[in-house]
């Protein structure tokens, strides 16, 4: 049942059991409207990092009550002979604390009791109108459309927080015009209200001397009218978010900065009218700034920004992008030993003149940085990552997209000291290999990984990431688009090991561009062309769960088919084909030798296949859970090469049960031959090997553990850089003893 919007509706509904007293303080509900904002909803939305909206309201009401005449209060109590046990004798602080814990229905009932209680409750209900759904939005609009002489209160006098960003499709100039004349308005949030024009916004700002914050993100019609209205009417302004201010003149911005000295947060984006002169006025007049966002302000240089970092001691966040005038001189005025104690976030995206020298200076003067964005700073190298590693536990967020000069060594030095990193983006860092994934696996709190267009990333890196991080991993978002060497098997294991994964991007990876898989991905953006749409493959939210369930089902079906197949019948069929002269099949099975003389005969293959299955199941039973098979494939290095081929055969193509069993038999046969060849070569290389070759009947079984395919490259890396320790390049350590 929806809540009533007026006391009259509430009384007629028969829900109110409280009757007004006979004294003159009672309120007739015939023409009184009220709307309640539920306190739980209030705590869910936070603006400008303020967490104590209700506490501020409560304190203001207490002050207002205390400012009233004490004699008038006493005379009122004597006049109406209020009983000593009456609720009205409680202090205002206690009453407000009680009201804070009441639900909507109780507050509406209390509004009909007496004027003193109603005066307190009505501000609680209206200081922040709740318009988060269609029903409440419609009811508030109906109340605001009533003539002011038809309501008991003028509700505009109570509004302090006005947030219209929940119902942006219904917000237009007419609706905003209903809130013209709110003298107590402190915060105005119009995020994504694209239908609004500058004229009603300007009218709402008239006489708003208490306005502290306004958010115009997504409003397209921002001109000098709005900025001048803020400068003329809002001297207490602390936060201004106007990212679409390209039409605002330099004069209007300078006027605002001079008229609002209490500014703390400023966001001007994509404007060529923000110049060095604006920056000069900013640090001269606004000494309390904690956040400056100048993304896309290409005319800004480091001429006056130097003074920002030197003189604004409270600065916490600084952002700028695509400004060619930002160079290594940005921090040159900061003396040695001077610490930017408050600075936590810095973003210099696309400032191509920046080099490692700036990053080294930044780390030395801001040792408590949490978020660092160096995306598209093309001159950044591993030296910057080694400098950033000095941030240690402070660093949580790092964005290095398009920094094509960084390598695995830089990522390794960063990760090994900054073990609290939660987000790392390395998109288009084309020199990174599987080694980077091995290093990232050591970050216990890592939630987001960006490796878009890192084409050297392979299945081995994903498998190592999964193996080292284990079950129930905390990863939430993984971006692997255009990592073209990936196949389905490792991604399947990644999905199984990461139950919290809510976003997985695999655009451009051919293994996933199949109708049975792409049916679970989200729709491509409407501005994509046909080629981009054909490559698009991104899974979000429920789509990730659908992909996970689909791959689980496929794996279970294929495993069941293989387990239930008649392997011996398959071997007899293949023997018949060999004896029938199928030279192609014979060559595919392992060479030109006769099967009758082949020491690796059908019985050997069947026995080997059975041993593998038994060993897998034994390890699965020992490890527990439903994915013991996958654990075995990851933990046993002897199965590393075979594992990738098996996954590729299972997940790609349309093999039937017979073809799948035949495929497995061929893989096992080839694998067994390779093992025997390695054993023979190893035996021949030893002094006693020659004697054993002379007497092969007494030769013992030699098991040589195969290495991962990247091991040779790891050895090359060691030879190239002798200063790197062995443990840094041992990408895939073996569990078995040498």
Which residues lie closer than 8 Å to 682 by C-beta, 6 or more apart? 689, 702, 704
DSSP string, 15-76: ---PPPPSSTT---GGG-B-----HHHHHH--STT---HHHHHHHHHHHHHHHS-HHHHHHH
SS (H, E, C) 661-691: HHHHHHHHHHHHHHHHHHHHHHHHHCHHHHH
Residues 387 and 360: beta-carbon distance below 8 Å? yes
Residue 462 has pLDDT above 60, yes or no: yes
The pLDDT assigned to 105 comes to 77
The pLDDT assigned to 1 comes to 36
Residues 236 and 208: beta-carbon distance below 8 Å? no
Residue 151 has pLDDT above 90, yes or no: no
The pLDDT assigned to 42 comes to 31
The pLDDT assigned to 345 comes to 97
Tens digit of each residue's pLDDT (9 = 90 or more) over 191-241 = 999 999 999 999 999 999 999 999 999 999 999 999 999 999 999 999 999
Task: Give the single-character DSSP code of 597.
Answer: T
- Please provide the average confidence, as pLDDT, over all residues in the chain: 76
Q: How far apart are CA 484 and CA 146, in angstroms?
A: 62
Lowest mean pLDDT, pick from 77-91, 157-171, 590-604, 639-653: 590-604
Helix (H, G, I), strand (E, B) or coil at 90: coil
Lowest mean pLDDT, pick from 148-157, 266-275, 405-414, 564-573: 564-573
Which residues lie closer than 8 Å to 75 by C-beta, 6 or more apart? none
Residue 578 has pLDDT above 90, yes or no: no
* Res. 3 pLDDT band, cuts 50 70 90: very low
Q: Residue ranges per domain, the chain?
A: 7-126, 159-291, 301-432, 455-564, 565-706
Say which residue, 464 or 652, is predicted with more confidence.
464
Say which residue, 332 or 568, is predicted with more confidence.
332
Tens digit of each residue's pLDDT (9 = 90 or more) over 598-645 = 444 445 545 555 555 555 555 545 544 444 444 444 444 444 555 555
Say which residue, 683 or 363, is predicted with more confidence.
363
Q: How far apart are CA 366 and CA 387, in angstroms?
A: 12
Lowest mean pLDDT, pick from 146-155, 165-174, 430-439: 146-155
- Residue that has been written with the tokens 């690796």 in this structure: 600
Same fold for the pair 159-291 and 301-432: yes
What percent of the chain clears pLDDT 90, i.e. is strictly above it?
A: 51
The pLDDT assigned to 93 comes to 72
Beta bridge partners of 189: 163, 215
CA angle, 339 then 384 then 431, to 5°: 160
The pLDDT assigned to 550 comes to 93
The pLDDT assigned to 298 comes to 94
Phi, psi of 371 (to 5 degrees): -120, 125
Residue 19 has pLDDT above 50, yes or no: no
The pLDDT assigned to 337 comes to 87
For the segment 155-176, the average pLDDT, to the nearest whole number, is 92
Checking phi first, is residue 324 left (phi over 0); if not, alpha (psi -120 to 50) or beta?
A: alpha
Residue 330 has pLDDT above 50, yes or no: yes
The pLDDT assigned to 126 comes to 85
* The domain defined by 159-291 carries CATH number 3.80.10.10: yes
Tens digit of each residue's pLDDT (9 = 90 or more) over 689-728 = 554 444 433 333 333 333 333 434 333 433 333 333 323 3
Alpha helices, H only, 340-482: 356-365, 382-388, 408-415, 434-440, 459-469
Residue 121 has pLDDT above 90, yes or no: no
- Enter the CATH code of domain 301-432: 3.80.10.10
Beta bridge partners of 321: 295, 349
Could you tell me the two tokens for 317? 């966040």
The neighbour count for residue 512, using CB atoms within 10 Å, is: 21
Tens digit of each residue's pLDDT (9 = 90 or more) over 41-60 = 333 333 343 445 656 665 66
pTM over the 0.75 mark: no
The pLDDT assigned to 203 comes to 95
Helix (H, G, I), strand (E, B) or coil at 172: coil
The pLDDT assigned to 389 comes to 96
Residue 65 has pLDDT above 70, yes or no: no
Which residues lie closer than 8 Å to 330 by C-beta, 6 or more apart? 302, 305, 306, 309, 354, 358
The pLDDT assigned to 560 comes to 60
Tens digit of each residue's pLDDT (9 = 90 or more) over 416-425 = 999 999 999 9
* Res. 72 pLDDT band, cuts 50 70 90: very low
CA atoms 625, 626, 629, 631: torsion sign:
negative
* Res. 658 pLDDT band, cuts 50 70 90: low
* Res. 97 pLDDT band, cuts 50 70 90: confident
Tens digit of each residue's pLDDT (9 = 90 or more) over 29-45 = 333 343 333 333 333 33
- Give, rounded to a whole angstrom, the gap between the first and last alpha carbons of the chain: 73
Tens digit of each residue's pLDDT (9 = 90 or more) over 289-309 = 999 999 999 999 999 999 999
Could you tell me the two tokens for 497? 């090991």
* Res. 244 pLDDT band, cuts 50 70 90: confident
The pLDDT assigned to 729 comes to 30
């Amino acid at each position: 049942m929806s809540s009533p919007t007026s006391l009259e509706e509430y009384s007629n509904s028969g829900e109110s059991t409280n009757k007004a007293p006979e004294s003159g303080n009672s309120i007739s509900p015939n023409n009184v409207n009220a709307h309640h904002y539920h306190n739980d909803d209030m705590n869910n939305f936070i603006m400008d990092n303020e967490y104590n909206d209700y506490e501020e309201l409560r304190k203001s009401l207490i002050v207002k009550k205390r400012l009233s005449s004490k004699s008038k209060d006493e005379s009122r109590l004597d006049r109406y002979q209020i009983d000593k046990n009456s609720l009205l004798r409680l202090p205002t602080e206690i009453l407000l604390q009680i009201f804070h814990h009441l639900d909507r229905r109780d507050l509406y009932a209390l509004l009909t009791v007496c004027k003193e209680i109603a005066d307190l409750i009505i501000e609680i209900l209206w200081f922040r109108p709740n318009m988060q759904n269609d029903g409440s939005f419609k009811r508030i609009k109906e109340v605001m459309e009533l003539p002011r002489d038809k309501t008991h209160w003028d509700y505009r006098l109570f509004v302090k927080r006005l947030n219209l960003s929940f119902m942006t499709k219904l917000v237009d100039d007419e609706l905003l015009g209903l809130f013209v004349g709110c003298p107590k308005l402190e915060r105005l949030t119009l995020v994504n209200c694209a239908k609004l024009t500058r004229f009603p916004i300007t009218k709402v700002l008239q006489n708003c001397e208490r306005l502290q914050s306004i958010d115009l993100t997504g409003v397209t019609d921002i001109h000098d009218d709005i900025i001048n209205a803020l400068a003329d009417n809002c001297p207490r302004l602390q936060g201004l978010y106007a990212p679409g201010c390209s039409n605002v003149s330099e004069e209007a911005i300078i006027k605002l900065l001079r008229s609002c000295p209490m500014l703390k947060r400023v966001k001007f984006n994509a404007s060529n009218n923000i110049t060095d002169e604006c920056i000069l006025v900013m640090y001269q007049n606004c000494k309390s700034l904690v956040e400056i966002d100048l993304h896309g302000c290409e005319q800004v240089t480091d001429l006056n920004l130097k003074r920002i970092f030197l003189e604004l001691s409270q600065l916490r966040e600084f952002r700028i992008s695509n400004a060619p005038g930002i160079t290594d001189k940005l921090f040159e005025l900061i003396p040695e030993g001077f610490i930017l104690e408050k600075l936590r976030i810095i973003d210099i995206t696309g400032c191509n003149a920046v080099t490692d020298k700036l990053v080294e200076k930044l780390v030395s003067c801001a040792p408590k940085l949490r978020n660092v964005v160096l995306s598209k700073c093309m001159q950044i190298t591993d030296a910057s990552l080694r400098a950033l590693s000095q941030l240690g536990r402070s660093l949580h967020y790092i964005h290095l997209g398009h920094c094509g000069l960084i390598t695995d060594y830089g990522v390794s030095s960063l990760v090994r000291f900054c073990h609290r990193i939660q987000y790392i983006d390395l998109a288009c860092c084309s020199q990174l290999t599987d080694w980077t994934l091995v290093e990232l696996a050591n970050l216990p709190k890592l939630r987001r990984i960006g490796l878009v267009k890192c084409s050297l990333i392979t299945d081995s890196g994903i498998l190592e990431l999964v193996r080292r991080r284990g079950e129930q991993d905390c990863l939430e978002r993984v971006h692997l688009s255009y990592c073209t060497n990936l196949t389905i098997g490792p991604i399947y294991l990644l999905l199984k090991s990461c139950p919290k994964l809510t976003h997985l991007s695999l655009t451009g990876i051919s293994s996933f561009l199949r109708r049975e898989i792409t049916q679970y991905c989200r729709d491509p953006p409407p501005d994509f062309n046909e080629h981009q749409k054909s490559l698009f493959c991104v899974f979000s939210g429920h789509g990730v769960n659908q992909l996970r369930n689909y791959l689980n089902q496929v794996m279970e079906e294929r495993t069941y088919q293989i387990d239930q197949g008649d392997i011996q019948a398959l071997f007899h069929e293949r023997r018949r084909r060999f004896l029938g002269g199928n030279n192609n099949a014979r060559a595919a099975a392992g060479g030109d030798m006769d099967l009758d003389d082949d020491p690796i005969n059908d019985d050997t293959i069947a026995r080997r296949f059975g041993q593998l299955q038994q060993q897998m199941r034994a390890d699965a039973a020992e490890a527990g859970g439903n994915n013991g098979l996958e654990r075995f494939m990851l933990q046993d290095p002897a199965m590393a090469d075979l594992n990738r081929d098996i996954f590729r055969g299972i997940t790609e193509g349309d093999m039937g049960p017979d073809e799948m069993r035949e495929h497995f038999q061929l893989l096992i046969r080839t694998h067994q031959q390779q093992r025997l060849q390695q054993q023979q070569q190893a035996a021949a290389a030893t002094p006693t090997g020659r004697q054993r070759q002379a007497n092969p009947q007494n030769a013992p079984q030699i098991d040589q553990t195969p290495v991962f395919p990247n091991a040779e490259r790891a050895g090359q890396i060691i030879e190239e850089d002798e200063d790197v320790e062995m443990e840094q390049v041992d990408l895939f350590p073996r569990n078995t003893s040498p």
